[in-house]
């Protein structure tokens, strides 16, 4: 699966956000300090917040398909 850019200004992808969340990032502020995401023009902040929420779900294993 391809990575998708969430923050073009700082070259941050959804995979970078997943990695940051897996390593303990839990807010936009900590994501910005870790990756720079949202710290330049700021127009990605809303999508970055959604990506953090989605990454938390993936980290907990709730986003994985369940085989029947
Ligand atoms: S697109 Fe993320 S700070 Fe500009």
Which residue's CA is the nearest one to ligand 1's atom 2? 7
Query: Cα–Cα distance between 39 and 10 in angstroms, integer?
Result: 8
Domain limits, the chain:
5-59
Q: Locate the ligand 1 atom nearest the alpha carbon of residue 48 and give its number.
A: 2
Kindly report the number of other CB atoms within 10 A of residue 46's CB atom: 11
Q: Which of 11, 8, 15 is nearest to 44 (CA)?
A: 8
pTM: 0.85
Q: Locate the ligand 1 atom nearest the alpha carbon of residue 40 and give its number.
A: 3
Superfamily of domain 5-59: BFD-like [2Fe-2S]-binding domain (1.10.10.1100)
Task: Render pLDDT for 14-47 as a digit per residue (tens, 0 to 9).
Answer: 999 999 999 999 999 999 999 999 999 999 999 9
Distance 56 CA to ligand 1 centre (A): 21
């Amino acid at each position: 699966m391809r990575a998708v850019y969430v923050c073009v200004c700082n070259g941050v992808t959804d995979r970078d956000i997943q990695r940051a969340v897996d390593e303990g990032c839990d807010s936009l502020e900590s994501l910005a300090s870790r990756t720079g995401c949202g710290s330049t023009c700021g127009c990605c902040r809303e999508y970055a917040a959604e990506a953090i929420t989605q990454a938390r779900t993936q980290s907990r294993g709730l986003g994985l398909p369940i085989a029947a």
